[in-house]
Amino acid sequence: MSNIITIDEIVKADDRKWVDVPVDEWQKGKVVRLGVMTAKSREIFEAAVQKRMRNGKLTDSKGLKFYLLARSIIDENGSPLFNDETIKQLGEKSSVVVERLFEAAQKLNGIGSETVEEMRKN
């Protein structure tokens, strides 16, 4: 038996981790589930970041926090709860809760602190 993985084994592998983040401010005892972005979602997020860069610096971070959350907040089946339009509704919610979710999503997805710091500056 070979130790080289097959395409079927790759496709069937359950490799998406998730974490539950308490959101008692929204409803006591409830959580928001954050999942690792799919490779496709990560590519879309990175393209959005690249569009906002000039000379290696992030020049406009508006909306990137919500872009990440739209691709990270999932239901119990692993499907996204939000899309790029409906995620804007989080803009009207507590910044404390949204920031908690953002920090957890960036950690879970391995979004570097340099990118996050650039986002915060802008």
Helix %, strand %, coil % for the chain, to 5? Answer: 50, 15, 40
Q: Quick check: pTM over 0.85?
A: no
**Could you tell me if residue 36 is inside a domain?**
yes
**Could you tell me if residue 99 is inside a domain?**
yes
Look at residue 118 in the predicted model and tell me its pLDDT: 55
What average pLDDT does the chain have? 88
Whether the CB-CB separation of 21 and 34 falls below 8 Å is answered with yes
**Could you tell me if residue 21 is inside a domain?**
yes
58's CB contacts (< 8 A; 6+ apart) are 49, 52, 115, 118, 119, 121, 122
**Could you tell me if residue 22 is inside a domain?**
yes
Q: Which domain holds residue 21?
A: 16-121
**Could you tell me if residue 4 is inside a domain?**
no
Q: How many domains does the chain have?
A: 1
Residues 3-25: what's their mean pLDDT?
95
